[in-house]
Amino acid sequence: MAKKTVLITGCSTGIGKLAARTFYERGWNVIATMRKPEKEEELGEQDDLMLARLDVTDKASIHAAVSEGVGRFGGLDVVVNNAARGGRALLEASSDAMVRAMYDTNVFGVMDVCRAVLPIMRKQGSGCIINITSMAGMVGLPLETAYSGTKYAVEGMTEALAFELKGLGILAKTVAPGVYSRTEFSANANDDDWAAGGQALTTYSDKLRAHFRSSVSAEGGNTADPQEVADKIFECATEATPVHNPVGNDAQLLMKMMGGPGRQAFLDQAEPLLLPPS
């Protein structure tokens, strides 16, 4: 049986790197992509693990990485859109540069990767796209207004894509992690605009952040193992799962508050209105 192949974006740190290792250790060909693969010291080139440059804001690099990976491994079974940019500030204090950079990476970058791989999957008649979102795409988080907007966008886009691709034999899903403080993502989030609104707004922001951190800690976000997210990604790639897949105590708590698995039941009921009979 031929090995399956996965392409993962944002593999230089955190969940992306863990996902690359998880797929590789479970016998997959892995195209581990990042903006600067020449600096990668932990993931090494192997017969079944390829490092490739891919910046989701650079279409040429997307197409080059996809072409090189498919040329090496012969196909593409799963794509994991993990690369993302974070940022925290009140919307009033958020700069154009921060907001636009976040949308360029988190929304348009995901769309561009999808458009690059879909012709390959359509020709194969199979494939799975897994978009990594966030619990910030399930409920709007104060101080992460722009980030929540991007993740809501990807949740909605993926839901539409799941309907759109069903007749072509291709799956689309999201994995929505809660807070995993043991990854580099939170530390790397852009806080440059935190104090841009002046002292009064900064004091208010500090108050909001302190409360959120306390809530996250109560749900185990400070000690949660990010390997849970990599395992959920692999599960979505290999098993029948819903379109929306929260992971982490906090994200699952929010999903329960919103009615548990009711979203998938709603999508199943809506399908006859949106899709012709197969």
**Mind telling me the catalytic residues?**
147
Give the Cα separation of 224 and 235 in Å (integer).
18
Give the Cα separation of 30 and 258 in Å (integer).
35
3-state SS assignment for residue 256: helix
The number of beta carbons lying within 10 Å of the beta carbon of residue 92 is 11
3-state SS assignment for residue 192: coil
Residue type, 29: N
5's enclosing H/E stretch is strand 5-8
Locate the DSSP E strands across the chain: 5-8, 29-34, 49-53, 78-81, 127-132, 170-177, 244-247
Structure tokens at 137: 């795409």
